Each structure stands twice: as structure tokens, then as C-alpha cells.
Structure 1
């Protein structure tokens, strides 16, 4: 449950007590969990409130609603399973055992959470919550000696840590087919930019006009221009800046998009507002990550492609650079990929060496290195939609 009201207290239906919802002034929304009767689960609410106060310090802004959803799944299961029918949800959480958690995870697996990664994420959320219940902040509602993960906390997860996923090879031909399955230039331009720059989707939708570099300020001989963006993923909930590269072809496409009446006359911003989002929906509002992913997945369904996610576009960027003529050698290109993808450690980038250089070279049509600027221009020419060619403006509300 997400509470957008500024009321400072509510009544807990299960007990009749007044319950504090207040945070420091101006900090909303407030996240909470309620049972099937509409009663607030107090311990869950307090934990989410604690996490909400740590956003930007040790917690990402996306973590709180995600953990809230996971706790709501646990709440519904506890009500359905009737493990301790005479106890409230809060009382059951105080005595939840490892065997109970195992049964919940099996239930999740049977009802759609088939991904090993998803199950591990849900267990990690519950483990963190149960650990918080042992703290003074929580009132030491649980005894640390009776933790489902051992009295020293070293008993392993029930769901083993998933192995690192192999990167996916996304060719320019796949990108062209995907973009051509999108109805509007605002979508095509944004996802082409993501593929060109290797950004996470959350980074792309946070970009502003002020982030777009002026290509006239750089040597015309440069095919790629540095671009500084704020990352959505950083240590301790921070949003550090990163430098990536944007091709002149994609930069021209963005500038052309910014020159359209649909973009320039968006009602919520002045025409020359530097803080205006670099990409807007067809309805001229801010993209949300959920909505952008939804439009991407709809385009995949309209194409002949099999399952593909927005994150695969970053994989496509990496392999595009590694197959290209950028840098002096393969090691140079690995360093470029590390910089563009924002990897702190080169060992993270080395997952892309699973496809050896010789095979990457063979994957190109000519069997030799590709020119990335030419690739970007080819994608733009094959997928550009003029203002009168847009086919649909539905489904773009955040």
C-alpha cells in the first residue's frame, strides 16, 4: 500500500490504536502493508518507514516499493496457509521458522516465481526484515538466537545465490526490427540512444536536455562525443555521475526529436528548460521505468523476436564496441566498454569475453571490424519516424 496523504496518524483496525505515519516534512509517498481485512501490519510498516528514511544513504529509491510488494506476498501467504490461525500477522512474524520460510518459497515457486533470481531476491528481503526485527529500533521483536539463518547469521540461504547470467548477443539487425515495432519516434529515439550509449533504462529516462552535449563544441573529426549522466545505480544509494560516449548519428537523432512541436510544446516545461527530460512519452509526459519497460515488451511481442529485455540493449552495446574498429586493440575496446557501462571493476566487464574475439569478428557480415558510427547511422536511417508517420499514441500514461 502506498499512502500519498499528509495525515500523520491512522487507526490500526486490528487493535484500534493510533498509528504514526509521519516522516520528516515533505517526504512522501509512504509505503505500508495491510492484511486482507485492511489492517496495517505494524512491524512491516515500521520497517518500510525505516527504509524510506534511508533512501539516498544506504537504500535505493526502487528498493522500498519492491520490498513492500514482497512483504505483501508473505502476508497473503500467512493468511492463506493458516500456520498459526490464532495469531495475528505481526505475532506470526515473531516466531517464523526456517521451515516456514521454506514452505513460503515453495509456494512462490508454484505460483509463478519460477526464476531462481526472483526467489533469491524475495528470500533476501525477508532475511533482512527478520534481522531488523532483532534490533533496538524494532523493539527486539525477535530473538537473534532463534534466527532462521543461525544464531550467528551464517546459516546459508534456502535459495542458493544465483550464478551470474551470461550476457546476450544483440545484433544491429535485432535492434532495427525491435525499433521498427515501436509506434512512435519518441520510443525509437530513446531505445536507440540506450543501445548506442550502453545506459541502463533507468539512467536513460533520467537524462535531461542539459545532459545532451553540443556537438559543435567538439572537433568534427570525432565520431563519438563524451556524455555525462547521473547513474541510478550506485553504492550506498548514491547517484554518481558516469561518462559514456554517444555517436554523432544518435546525437543528431535526439536533436531532431527535440526540434519537433510535440516535444518543444510539452505543457509541463518551458521550451528551453534545461531540466526538461531528454525523452518524453507520446503523450508528452515523463517516462517511468515501468511504462518504458511495458512499451519495450509490447514492441517485442509485435516483432518476430523471442524474449528480450531492455537490459540486453547494454549487452548489445558491449558486443558492438568489441566488434568495432574503436581503439587500437581488443584490450582498448574492453576498457571502452568498462567506461561506457560504468563498471567499477574490469572483472565485471570480462563476462563479455565468453564470446572470443575471433568469433565476434566472424559474426560481422564482412568478417571484419565494424564502424560504430556507420552502424548507428544505418539504424537511424532504417528506423526513423517523421512526425506524420506516428501510428499510435495510446498506452503512454505513467
Structure 2
């Protein structure tokens, strides 16, 4: 099965195969929607119509539509493998199959294929949405599926067991950083970790966002207890966050260490960065980070970078580090930093706001972390090290100069 999903794509119908024998369609049209195709390139009408409707109403992004299509494709393959549905037309076996077939599918996944509970649950949620929002919804001719709704009583899989979340540690972050000889990549890795970014958010961080955060870093604070002004160890930075409805964004402010921002400032002062930034008219449109080709990072290029560096450092890493593990590491860093909040609950709230979680319960999953990952780092004088101090030490250990002759 193959899923194709687009939003606002322009198509020139003059080259369409529909015009092979006679002129049937013409002109340029804008297309939004999704389609599920089998191995013979035949369109699956029910699934495709459902995905397109959900995209049209803004309930599914392009990426989510592809994931939903793949999940429904897995179920369709299972139904087609059963003798009673082998001759079923296209994807109409979704209508014909009884509840027992759906239950048998998840039994096979969990017991025979030993699929992880979270993965099975995601496929279960996709099928429930397909049933409740499409196949079992009444229309002029009645609902497409007239049989009993398999999801009338809720989801078919048991709630997955909570898994221990393992994020990237400071030691692993340093190993990753040392695996690249390019300061621009080292700078990016530290920023993703320190700001708790999703990979899809990297491209939306602009030069203006960094400049505004640096303005805050220059402010000195004074209190009644302290007569000597101090500089903030952390600064708020505006993030055009992901996880909004459809393809929309969900803005937030993350806290990032001053040391990380100063490292980015040095990168932005380099001839390399200034050369690539010239083609952008203003800071609000200029990416904060450029790849080797002088373009902003895409989500896939961020993942490829982590894959490449994890492979280089495989002798020093237990497992490859994904972009989201850097984000998990940020949560641990906040929760274990003594200068962020008076107690653990305050730090949990700070982590929630910085990571952009809508509910505190989402952030609370980090309660179930191993003590070694909780990262209560102690220096030689038995003083707990803060996150800001960790970031400053990381810069001192790993910063390298960007020379004028550097191409990357």
C-alpha cells in the first residue's frame, strides 16, 4: 500500500492521461487531499475519501494523513489475506468485515507479531476514527457500514503499559557534538537539546527569534537580597511550535541557556552564516541555522543529521540518538536543575510550558525516569550543577572556530 497526501499543490491538467484520446480536462488546479493505493496503483475509494475529508476540515495534517493511511493500509492487507475477503472489491472489506475480524487483527499484532502496545494502540485509534467519523456516519443513503460498529464500546486494544522514557544525557549530547567537525552542526545540536525542540520546529526558528532572546540575555537583574546586578542564566525564546490542529502551529516560549545563545551569536557572526543569510530580506524570514547547502533545515534533514552522527559515534553510544531523544533530554535537564523552581512541582510546570504540552499530565510521564537519567550531577565540591552551568561547560569543551575557508 502507498499513501499520497498533498495540500494546496498546483497541477497542470493539460498533461493528464485523461486527455490521451480526447481533451477531457484542462487548466491548472489546486489540489488538497490524500489517496491510498494498492500494489497495482489502484485507488482505495473509502480510505481516500475519509482522509481527504479530514484534511479538508483541518483535522489532519499532511503528515498525519500519511500515517493514518499507512495504518489503514495495514488493516486492509490483513483483511485481504483472509479467504472471506480475498475477492472483495478495492477496500470495501472494511464495510463487510464483522467485529470479530477487527479483534482478530489486534490479537495477531499483540500475540503473534509481538507488536509494541503503543504502536497497536495508534493503529486502533486510527481505525476507530475511520469508523466513528466516516464508515458509521449516516448520510443521505445511510451509513456506508450497516453492520455493527466494532468501536461502539470503545477501543479494542488494552491501554499500553507505561514505558520508561530514556532521553539523551549530557554525556551523550557531548559525544554527538564531537562526532561532527562543523561548528554550525554542533551549535544546532546544543540548541535543539537546550530549547526542547521538535524536529519540525527547527526550520521555524528565525534569526529574529535569536536576536530577541539575546536582548533579554543582556539585561541585568538586582533584588533586595543582592546589591550586585546579575545576568540571567536563561532566556525565553519564541518558538513557532508544532502540534497545532491540522498543519497549523502552536506558539510558545521555551527557556534556553544564555551560554547556548552566545554560542549561536558567534555562529551568526561568522562569514559562513552571513553569506547564506544575505539572500533573505529581513531577520524574521532568515533561518537561524543553515545546512551544508545554505538552506534552512527540514524535519527530514534534522533526522538525517542525527542518524549520521549517531552512526559515527556508535562505539561511544549505547543506542542511536533521535531528535525526540534530545527533547526528552531537555525535560530531564529542567527537572534536575536546582535553580529552576523551588521544588519538583515548579520544575514540572516550567517543563510543561517550555515543551509546549497542553496538559501537565503529558509532562508527568517524565516522573518515571531512572535515577541515572535524572542526572543529579555533582562536581568535585559536591555542589549540584545547574542546567545553565552544564550548557556553559559544554560550550567550553566543544566550541570550535568557524574559519573563513570553511565551506560547511
Scaled to the shorter chain, the TM-score interval is: 0.7 to 0.9
Judging changes above 3 Å, is the alpha-carbon distance between structure 1 residues 102 and 356 closer, same or farther for their aligned structure 2 residues? closer
Judging changes above 3 Å, is the alpha-carbon distance between structure 1 residues 35 and 309 closer, same or farther for their aligned structure 2 residues? same
1:215 aligns with 2:214: yes
Give the match for residue 387 of structure 1: 402
Judging changes above 3 Å, is the alpha-carbon distance between structure 1 residues 389 and 180 closer, same or farther for their aligned structure 2 residues? farther
Say which of 153, 160, 163 aligns to 1:162. 160
Give the match for residue 16 of structure 1: none
Aligned 8 A contact 1:198 1:317 in 2? yes
Aligned 8 A contact 1:205 1:287 in 2? yes
Judging changes above 3 Å, is the alpha-carbon distance between structure 1 residues 110 and 205 closer, same or farther for their aligned structure 2 residues? farther
1:375 aligns with 2:375: no
**CA offset digits 1:34-90 (Å, max 9, x no partner):** 1222221111111111122123xx334431121122233334444454542322123
| Mapped partners of 1:113, 1:141: distance in 2 | 34
Q: SS in structure 2 opposite 1:62?
A: helix
Question: In the comparison of the two structures, how many residue pairs are matched?
Answer: 378
Judging changes above 3 Å, is the alpha-carbon distance between structure 1 residues 334 and 34 closer, same or farther for their aligned structure 2 residues? closer
- Stretch of structure 1 that moved more, 177-186 or 296-305: 177-186
Aligned 8 A contact 2:302 2:323 in 1? no
Superposed CA RMSD in Å reads 3.8
Aligned 8 A contact 2:267 2:273 in 1? yes
Q: Which has the higher strand share?
A: 2
| Mapped partners of 2:310, 2:240: distance in 1 | 28
5+ residue gaps in structure 1?
A: 13-18, 394-398
**CA offset digits 1:14-51 (Å, max 9, x no partner):** xxxxx99x99x7454x4211122222111111111112
Judging changes above 3 Å, is the alpha-carbon distance between structure 1 residues 166 and 110 closer, same or farther for their aligned structure 2 residues? closer
Judging changes above 3 Å, is the alpha-carbon distance between structure 1 residues 39 and 11 closer, same or farther for their aligned structure 2 residues? farther
Judging changes above 3 Å, is the alpha-carbon distance between structure 1 residues 299 and 102 closer, same or farther for their aligned structure 2 residues? farther
| Mapped partners of 2:181, 2:13: distance in 1 | 44
Q: What TM-score comes out, normalization by structure 1 length?
A: 0.80
| Mapped partners of 1:184, 1:67: distance in 2 | 38
| Mapped partners of 2:128, 2:405: distance in 1 | 48
User: Which of 1 and 2 has greater Rg?
Assistant: 2
Give the match for residue 290 of structure 1: 300
1:121 aligns with 2:122: yes
The 5-angstrom pairing of residues 183-194 of structure 1 reads 184-194=182-192
| Mapped partners of 1:342, 1:184: distance in 2 | 30
Give the match for residue 172 of structure 2: 174
Following superposition, the deviation at residue 237 of structure 1 comes to 6.5
Judging changes above 3 Å, is the alpha-carbon distance between structure 1 residues 93 and 334 closer, same or farther for their aligned structure 2 residues? closer
5+ residue gaps in structure 2?
A: 19-23, 221-230
